[in-house]
A and B are shown apart, each in its own frame.
Chain A
Amino acid sequence: MTPLALLGVISSAIFSGTSLLYTTLGEIVGERSGIVNLGLEGVLLVSAASGFAASAVSGNPYVGVLVAMLAGGLMNLVLGYLVVTRKANQLASGLALMFFGFGLSAWIGRAYVGAKIVGLPRLSLPGLSNLPILYGSLLSFDPLIYLVLPTAVLVWWVLFRTRWGLSLRAVGEAPDTAFAAGRNPGRIRYRALLVGGLLAGVGAAHLSIAYAMNWTEYMTAGRGFIAIALVIFSKWHPLRAIVGALLFSGAVAFQLLLQSSGIQVSPFLLNTVPYLLTLLVLIGWGGRRKYAAPASLGRVYQGTE
């Protein structure tokens, strides 16, 4: 296994993990306020489609990213309306949103299947331009990739060091107590969902504008659900999510690595590793650490909220 191959794996993991990480960060924010979005897959699809379409139409990838963010935010607000204002069942609302996303994204994207866009530019880290071309190309990343780590840190900082983050976490743990402390749980949840949607939009944008640079129906291929599993796996913590995202997206890249060493492992089986890992982790928590999940979120899964 050459250093080139190893680098290839890492580079691939970073590329595919970035959109996953953005999405996961967004979902962490939403779930920390007590709302789980089963429709994340649909949100991603709509954002990816609209972002791609906007890029194609405007010729400017940054416009596409912006539009994708807005689309994600709007989709999440729909969920917010149903769950917060109308007090609808979170799981059913999320699934309805997912189907909505299937349909809406197909409709938005239909005119752009096979279109070519100007993707985001790839920049190498300064000082690496002297490397041979192959290495260089593996280590040139687009701006969104460079921004993902700072974003994760920012999300962490906001959640744990600001008043807004404290209120959000309090709402996600004990909305009644937060209310007694003068917070408005409904408004906080709306805001959390909005931020979550914006972040998910960035993640989707990265997928369609920077990584794959095309649009096909169902192109997110389950990333929404991977993100939901990753949120659990990283215990709702933004910094742990970084490691988890690398791990989860590294699985496929890992398969290529094994292949180059002569070991054949089916990519499909490797695909299942993130989920099985998450399940094992949950079993390992053994129910005692039930309070790793934000308390009112746990009640959603129990069906009592």
Chain B
Amino acid sequence: MAEPTDRRAPAGPRRILNGGLRYAAMAALAFVLFGVILRLAGKDPLQAYRDIFTSTLGSAYGISEVFVTMTPLLLTALAVALPSRLGLINVGGEGQLYMGALLATWAALRFSHLPSWLLLPMMIVLGMIGGGLWAVPAGYLRAKGIVNETITTLLLNVVAPSIVAFFVFGFWHSPMDTNKTPNFVPAARLPTLFGTRVDLSLVIGVGLLALFWFVMTRTRWGLEMRSIGGNPWASRRNGIPVQRYIVGVMVVAGGLAGLAGMAQVSGYYGVLLANFSRGLGYMGFLVSWLAGGSPLGILVTSFVVAVILTGGNLLQLTRDVPYSVINILLAMTLFVVLARPRFQRRRKTA
């Protein structure tokens, strides 16, 4: 099973400072590289960066937009971090997300007459069930040692959007557009906070992160899970029901990603669009990987990534660069982290 990914050493103030400096240096390197690309395109990098920061962190609206982008990343990252504690690799967030959105949409369309306090919890539960069920094959096959969960989740990732497209283009499409469902009724929309576009799922997400931290560090199950991740063969002989945990954890993780999917269609979009996710699940994988699977790290990393992505959105609006280009900056940051450059004599990483 996988080694715990790049776990930062337990905190002492000096270590945190060292780690922070290192990450800052890596971020700086990434920004320089992207700046080179911008320059090649004839744009002024400094102006572009200034725009990114002022538009995102410089205004209340900007910050709220950052939170909007951050929310699904939190959940999909958690969907990766939880199994990673057992040494499982869940790249299936994308598919689980879609299936969660699917089931939630079914409820939204079918029960649109119900009041919000009935409909929303139903959608939340269905969203988690959708994602959870989608993860069952991966968990079961891995527990029985038949197929690796990485492969299973990868394959199912592509199946899910097709199934969603089938329903959207088929039974559910709105009279006006074939590629999306009719808009959700207000009762099916997650309530937003403080007049911004940030919806309740952010609160749920942060709450789940805290729960994750609590379960892993304090409870009996967290101990057993960490034991499996640290040494699965020993854990078997130590009496831990490894197979049961594998399946259970995958289901929960799928549920988390499914919840993210539900939040996307119910909160963010208000409608189910075929292909609404351009890699949210994968981005969650990368966020969790960057953060070493730690809850605090996920919080910080998803925020930073959200800043980049939101800023990119505004770059597009102001500088006629297609939105997708912001992926380059994201990728640069990842490349730099992956390449693990040595800025200073560092003590050992995980």
Chain A positions within 8 Å of B, measured between CB atoms, are 38, 78, 81-82, 86, 88-89, 91-93, 95-100, 102-107, 110, 217-218, 222, 225-226, 228-229, 232, 266, 268-269, 271-272, 275-276, 278-279, 282-283, 286-287, 298, 301-304
Contacts and interface: CB of A to CB of B under 8 A. Distances in A.
20 contacts: A78-B335, A82-B338, A89-B289, A91-B150, A99-B327, A100-B327, A100-B331, A100-B332, A102-B278, A107-B322, A110-B321, A229-B154, A266-B170, A268-B162, A268-B163, A272-B158, A279-B155, A301-B89, A303-B150, A304-B1
A229 to B, nearest CB: 6
Q: Which of A93, A102, A103, A272 has the most CB of B within 10 A?
A: A103
A88 B336 CA distance: 11
A89 B279 contact: no
Contacts of B283: 99
Contact of B5 (A89, A103, A276, A298): A89
B146 A226 contact: no
A39 B154 CA distance: 12
A303 B151 contact: no
Contacts of A268: 162-163, 165-166, 169-170
Nearest to B322: A106
Given A88-B340, A99-B279, A269-B162, A302 B148 contact: yes
Contact of B328 (A104, A272, A286, A303): A104
A110 B155 contact: no
B158 A217 contact: no
Given A92-B289, A266-B166, A272-B163, A107 B321 contact: yes
Contacts of A106: 322-325, 327
Contacts of B157: 225
Interface of B: 1-3, 5, 41, 87, 89, 91, 137, 141, 144-148, 150-152, 154-159, 162-163, 165-166, 169-170, 278-279, 282-283, 285-286, 289, 321-332, 334-335, 338-340
Q: Which of A104, A276, A298, A303 has the most CB of B within 10 A?
A: A303
Contacts of A97: 331
Contacts of B5: 89
Contacts of B331: 96-97, 99-100, 103
Contacts of A232: 151
Given A99-B286, A268-B163, 8 more contacts: A38-B91, A103-B326, A106-B323, A217-B324, A269-B162, A272-B163, A303-B2, A303-B150
A77 B273 CA distance: 36
A222 B146 CA distance: 26
Contact of B148 (A88, A226, A301): A301
B2 A269 contact: no
A204 to B, nearest CB: 17
A304 B327 CA distance: 29
A107 B159 CA distance: 28
A298 B151 CA distance: 10
B327 A92 contact: no
A283 B147 contact: yes
A228 B289 contact: no
B339 A88 contact: yes
A303 B279 CA distance: 22
Contacts of B282: 95, 98-99
B158 A103 contact: no
B327 A275 contact: no
A301 B87 CA distance: 11
Contacts of A78: 335
Given A96-B331, A303-B1, A107 B162 contact: no
Contact of B279 (A102, A276, A302): A102
Given A89-B289, A99-B330, A282 B154 contact: no
A92 B285 contact: yes
B289 A226 contact: no
A304 B2 contact: yes
A92 B338 contact: yes
Contacts of A225: 154, 157-158
Contacts of B165: 268
A222 B95 CA distance: 13
A105 B324 CA distance: 9
Contacts of B152: 279, 282
Contacts of B285: 91-92, 95
Contacts of B159: 272, 275-276
B328 to A, nearest CB: 4
B257 to A, nearest CB: 15
A283 B325 CA distance: 39
A272 B334 contact: no
Contacts of A98: 279, 282
A106 B329 CA distance: 13
A287 B170 contact: no
Contacts of B323: 106
A103 B308 CA distance: 13
Contacts of A88: 338-340
A268 B148 CA distance: 26
B234 to A, nearest CB: 16
A227 B166 CA distance: 22
